Structure 1
Amino acid sequence: MVKDHSHFDRGNSNDANKKEFSYNLENVNAYREKRTLALASVFASVGLAATKLVIGYSTNSLGILSEAMHAGLDVIAALMTLYAIRIVIRPPDVRFTFGYAKVESLSSLIAIILLFTVAGWIFYEGLDRILFKNTQPEITIFSFVIMTISIVVDLWRSKVLYRAARRYGSQALEADALHFKADMFSSSIVIVGLVFVLVFHIPNADAFAALIVAAMIIYTSLGLGRRTIDVLLDKAPKGMNHLLLESISGLDGVSKAHDIRIRNMGSAMSVDLHIEVPRTSTHDRAHRIATNVENRIREVMPNCDVLVHVDAIETSTETLTDRIRLIAAETDGIKNVHSIYLSRIIEPRSKKSSRHDAISMETKSHELGTSDSLTHHEFNANASSFHLHLYLDLQVNRKLDLKTAHDITESFEQRIKAEIHQVKDITTHIEIESTEEADVMGVEKKASGSYTENIRNLSMQINRVIDCKDIGIVEVNNEQHITLTIVIKAKEGEEVTSIEEAHKISTDVQEIIIKETGASRVVVHSEPL
């Protein structure tokens, strides 16, 4: 039976190693490409910033000076991006168990803060020139040349970086791409301002162009800032929760999924969720259900890390036998329970009737149902007005003394009565476990032809047994065990034999062989004709 636990992988190690190698190779290739682009961005930003600064001071153009400041900020942002890319490649460790993927988002956030700072300075200087100063910028051919070169370089950088950002899910590269795209438009606005100063002799046109540049910086930074903060605060991607629920609904064994947590981790996503499975499932089945959930999620979200937590729950299809076995599995000292059946206790109505008269569940199944077929919910609905007597066989370790075994049985019976209120009486037959590890290794013996023939003839005496074969003799702890296969024919006029009939015939074969040979155990395998 499965208890509440988290899913753990135990797949083929060779497949896991191949996947890990492929994943590491992809990471290395991505790192190399991102590092090359970041380095190229640094060098281009340094060259443009230095050139704009020299020309801006020499011409006294606030538009070009604002572009120089902006380009200088791009140098800092590109350096932070380069550093972030170097950090992100590191694998998770004991300090940062989820890895370093969010360093890129942090780098992007710092760059955005610097952009707002520069935009504030440009606004201040532009308003100061418009309202309080009368500054006449000097327009030269170099002013137009450097701004044109800046537009071409920024156009190339924004396209290349944006493409890489989309491919690898890098917010740091996306921040750089947006910066350079903004630079491209702002450079165009500066050129327009310079044209107005040169042609129409409007000295403040350059300052107005600078204000427009600052506004564009703020506008483009707000969008990226919102997305960056969403990642840092672990906001789930829009619609992903519904998509994930839809993908795993209807999977075999999954009753319900809940407590779903999704967050971005750089270019990958992390998914953590709970699934509910019947508590009667074995651990192996629960593991396979969780693995199916993981695989289905990865089909929808290919690059993600999935953790599935399994919750064992009571279901409407759970039978009384299931509940009894669950209680036995959770009781220390009990190895197994079997031969479970119930009877209904007849309450006394007269002196002639006894309170402990019981009607077998088999004969009253039309009123109550057997413990194997009646679900717990059906039982509660039908059995509210009467009490039951439970009978079962209970296996314990053969090394226990009677008092210890009895105490274990008492604890087991008390819990059954506490959880299944209609069970009033319990009769438990205590057995020793017959499959201890030290006892299961037997030795096959070669029997004489007359001995095996005698076993065959004994089996054939039972009605409807038409053949006996594969007879084997095994010695286990100085006891003789006999194994054999019988072939059973169907009744006259019927095509098949029920399993109940086959079990009765096999039991008859067991009893006659044990009686005539003195064997300790007879294992009979039955086959249809």
Structure 2
Amino acid sequence: MVDSKERDSEDSFFDKFKRFKINNVPEKKSSETIDQALLNQLAYNEKIQIAITSIIASASLTVSKFIIAIYTNSLGLLSEGMHSGLDVLAALMTLYAIRISRKPPDPEHNYGYAKFESLTSLGAVLLLFIVAGWIFYEGLERIFFKQVVPEITVFSFGILIVSIVVDYGRSRALYKVAGKYGSQAIEADALHFRVDMLTSFVVLVGLAIVYFLGIPNADAYSAITVAGLIVYTSLGLGRRTLDVLLDKAPKGIQGQIHESITGFEGIKKAHSIRVRKVGKDTFVDLHIEVPRIFTHDKAHRIATSVEYKIKNEILPNSDVVVHVDAVEDYLTETIKDKIRLISEDFPSIKNVHSIYLSNIVVNETSDRSKNNETGENSLQLLHLYLDVQMDDKLSFKIAHGVVDDFEKKIKEEVQNIKRITTHIETDLDIESSVGREEMADQTFLERIKKMALSIEGVSDCDEISLVYVKNELHITLTIKINPLSIKSQDRSSDSIPSSSSNPDDSLSVEKAHDISTQVQNLLLENTNAARVIVHAEPA
């Protein structure tokens, strides 16, 4: 039987380390953040574990290769020993990079420290180039300037075979973790072991040629081959590392993002798409153009939809920032829209309403008429009249000056508006605009109902209310419209395509509005009401 103390002693350092780290994850406010913190901690533990085992493996191989290289005087083995020694240094750099890169973003490093892994990777590549240069130089020395005959023993072959097996296992494990967590530092470490495996094989072949064929320079040639392999494999990682450090966007990703959001309803254009990688994280920011008449809420919903699509369909788990540009839309923006938008440039103007336009047809002579035989040019201009609500604390002189500037800007942006008549009124708050509803004389109610029923198409009238707002009478009522009570020629003028034979379907909104307006005008003319609101329903 194995007691608990023995079992504890058999636990690996990494198991204890992992349990300690998991148990010491800081408390979060929600289950989602707790899960993410736990996943981040497990990822960190796995990367630390793989880095430490790489250090142990590299150190063991380095010592063995150096001892045998010195004993046999083999440049190939010496180059392998130096390469393995460099692997130890690279693994230590990787371990340090992992610890630094997991630090959270701070005010000075808004995107975190993940790029520290890329810097470490670049440093490891530079070290590989230095070692490759030395090996290449020493190989040329032995080939052309000095004769060195290595002493081959069974240990020479043995250490190389063991090295190939260990390097293969470590490189596979490292590449797996590097791909899983997007760690360039671990990828650089994996590259070291992969190159180690290849170079060990080359040196093994070189020593075999020296031993069996008696060609002393084969050892030097194998060393030069090792240097070439180191340079070749390091160039690829160096290029990828520089791409990350220089914020190179993944190939074709900008076009893919642009194409995926161009079809969104309401988006006129997408531009300034930028993508950058920081460690395993991808950051995206872009601009979308939407019509300026959209509400803030609608524009925000569109931006959120774009963000969701990129995060879930193109770049999973990316960080996306969508900037919304409000632009003029010549196809959908009306003159009334333009006027309301212009009013937003004047803080003293609280609201504009009751906007109406009428046509003015004039004949004017201008310099352009020289190209016209008659000398007259027919222009269609507009007369704008509207109500402008102003802050009631303003003096009339200041308010009038603001309105003058408002009218001037309207004429600049809507060039066919020639005349503007503005009615200035105070900005009513909610309390001052709340009216009081009073019981009306039954005779007066019957009179209102009779006037409403006198309009062709109105079959009933009810829910009549009398409301006083600032001592002004407002009348509200509901009318029911029966299409059958309207003359057939009036109904036939409403060209409403319908597959239904139901006469209710033949009445257009335009005709219903016309009937409501007739009721409204009749009541305004025959009562002292300042306002009449007519609600229409189908009979």
Q: Same fold (TM over 0.5)?
A: yes
Paired residue type of 2:66: L
Q: 2-side partners of 1:27 and 1:448: how far apart?
A: 76
Which structure 2 residues correspond to residues 380-391 of structure 1 after superposition, within 5 A? 386=379, 388-391=381-384
Q: Is the 8 A contact 2:363 2:378 kept in 1?
A: no
Q: Residue in 2 aligned with 1:497? A: 507
Residue 105 (structure 1) shift: 0.9
Residue 419 (structure 1) shift: 2.1
Q: Number of residues paired by the alignment? A: 479
The alignment status of 1:111 with 2:124, answered yes or no, reads yes
Structure 1: tracts of 5 or more residues without a match: 1-15, 350-383
The alignment status of 1:523 with 2:539, answered yes or no, reads no
Give the one of 470, 479, 487 matched to 1:486.
479
Residue 389 (structure 1) shift: 3.3
Q: Residue in 1 aligned with 2:426? A: 432
Give the one of 44, 62, 75 matched to 1:62.
75
Q: Is the 8 A contact 2:361 2:378 kept in 1?
A: no
Q: 2-side partners of 1:426 and 1:478: how far apart?
A: 30
Q: 1-side partners of 2:529 and 2:537: how far apart?
A: 23
Residue 417 (structure 1) shift: 1.8
Q: Is the 8 A contact 2:362 2:378 kept in 1?
A: no
Give the 3 Å change call, closer, same or farther, for CA 437–454 of structure 1 in structure 2: same
Q: Which moved more, 1:188-197 or 1:477-486?
A: 477-486
Q: Residue in 2 aligned with 1:270? A: 283
Q: Which moved more, 1:113-122 or 1:298-307?
A: 298-307
Give the match's secondary structure for 1:386. strand
The alignment status of 1:341 with 2:369, answered yes or no, reads no
Paired residue type of 1:414: K
Q: Residue in 2 aligned with 1:153? A: 166
The alignment status of 1:407 with 2:423, answered yes or no, reads no
Residue 508 (structure 1) shift: 4.3
The alignment status of 1:312 with 2:326, answered yes or no, reads yes
Q: 1-side partners of 2:438 and 2:34: how far apart?
A: 52
Q: Is the 8 A contact 1:328 1:337 kept in 2?
A: no
TM-score by length of 1: 0.83
Q: Is the 8 A contact 2:360 2:383 kept in 1?
A: no
Q: Residue in 1 aligned with 2:344? A: 329
Q: 1-side partners of 2:67 and 2:327: how far apart?
A: 73
The alignment status of 1:128 with 2:141, answered yes or no, reads yes
Residue 233 (structure 1) shift: 0.8
Give the 3 Å change call, closer, same or farther, for CA 219–17 of structure 1 in structure 2: same
Deviations 1:408-434 (A, max 9, x none): 211111112222333222222333344
Which structure 2 residues correspond to residues 41-52 of structure 1 after superposition, within 5 A? 41-52=54-65
Residue 454 (structure 1) shift: 6.4
TM-score by length of 2: 0.81
Give the one of 245, 266, 285 matched to 2:258.
245
Q: Residue in 2 aligned with 1:421? A: 415
Which structure 2 residues correspond to residues 353-364 of structure 1 after superposition, within 5 A? none
Give the 3 Å change call, closer, same or farther, for CA 71–514 of structure 1 in structure 2: same
Q: Is the 8 A contact 1:387 1:423 kept in 2?
A: no
Q: 1-side partners of 2:520 and 2:30: how far apart?
A: 52
Q: Which moved more, 1:478-487 or 1:159-168?
A: 478-487
Q: 1-side partners of 2:472 and 2:414: how far apart?
A: 40
Q: Is the 8 A contact 1:396 1:405 kept in 2?
A: no
Q: Is the 8 A contact 2:342 2:410 kept in 1?
A: yes
Give the match's secondary structure for 1:270. strand
Q: 1-side partners of 2:274 and 2:213: how far apart?
A: 60
Q: Is the 8 A contact 1:468 1:484 kept in 2?
A: yes
Residue 448 (structure 1) shift: 8.5
Give the match's secondary structure for 2:480. strand
Residue 483 (structure 1) shift: 3.8
Q: Residue in 2 aligned with 1:378? A: none
The alignment status of 1:506 with 2:516, answered yes or no, reads yes
Which structure 2 residues correspond to residues 436-455 of structure 1 after superposition, within 5 A? 436-441=429-434
Q: Is the 8 A contact 1:337 1:392 kept in 2?
A: no
Q: Which moved more, 1:394-403 or 1:56-65?
A: 394-403
Give the one of 186, 194, 211 matched to 1:173.
186
Q: Is the 8 A contact 1:231 1:264 kept in 2?
A: yes
% same residue: 51
Q: 2-side partners of 1:124 and 1:138: how far apart?
A: 21
Q: 2-side partners of 1:43 and 1:443: how far apart?
A: 87
Residue 303 (structure 1) shift: 2.7
Give the 3 Å change call, closer, same or farther, for CA 210–401 of structure 1 in structure 2: same
Q: Is the 8 A contact 2:167 2:193 kept in 1?
A: yes
Q: Residue in 2 aligned with 1:207? A: 220
Paired residue type of 2:379: F
Q: Which moved more, 1:411-420 or 1:506-515?
A: 506-515
Q: Which moved more, 1:250-259 or 1:389-398?
A: 389-398
Q: Residue in 1 aligned with 2:53? A: 40
**Higher relative contact order structure (alpha carbons within 8 Å, sequence separation ≥ 6):** 1
Residue 446 (structure 1) shift: 7.1
Q: Residue in 1 aligned with 2:230? A: 217
Paired residue type of 1:487: K
Paired residue type of 1:341: L
Quick check: which one's helix share is greater? 2
Structure 2: tracts of 5 or more residues without a match: 1-28, 366-376, 492-502
Give the 3 Å change call, closer, same or farther, for CA 22–455 of structure 1 in structure 2: farther
Q: 2-side partners of 1:43 and 1:471: how far apart?
A: 91
Give the one of 459, 467, 482 matched to 1:466.
459
Paired residue type of 1:502: A
